[in-house]
Amino acid sequence: MELLCDPSRMMKRDALTESLAMMADVFGDGMFASHVGGFFTCSEADSIARVLLLSGHRDEALTWLSCHADGDEVDDSHFTYDEDDPKDEGRVLNALELREYAGWLAA
């Protein structure tokens, strides 16, 4: 008969929660994220942000995405421009757009 409240499972869950909080502290630190965020591809940065979002660390995920996006250029995921306007040089996503993007990542 299987135990419904397996203590080893609970310990693993607590360790996972603690590890995710530590990860959020690292990637959600603006100084760290600013220094290394641009070295990650957009899909790598999105993967980290998604883990943070799904584990309840929304602010940290937004900090991470924002700092990563600072290095984005045309054709990167966190960069926008008007394709029909040749004068539009584009820009990285603003805070509102990043929050919307984060909602899409967490869905």
**The predicted structure's pLDDT at residue 1:** 47
Q: Tell me the backbone φ, ψ of residue 44, rounded to 5 degrees.
A: -65, -45
Domain ranges of the chain: 28-106
On whether the CB atoms of residues 69 and 92 are closer than 8 A, the answer is: yes
Tokens representing 37?
A: 């965020």
Give the chain's end-to-end CA distance (angstroms, integer). 36
Write the pLDDT tens digit of every residue in 18-44. 999 999 999 999 999 999 999 999 999
b or e along 84-107 (b: 16 or more beta carbons within 10 Å of the residue's beta carbon)? eeeeeeeebbeeeebeebbeebee
**The predicted structure's pLDDT at residue 9:** 65
From CA 5, how far away is CA 15, in angstroms rounded? 16
Write the pLDDT tens digit of every residue in 53-98. 999 999 999 999 999 999 999 889 999 988 889 898 999 999 999 9
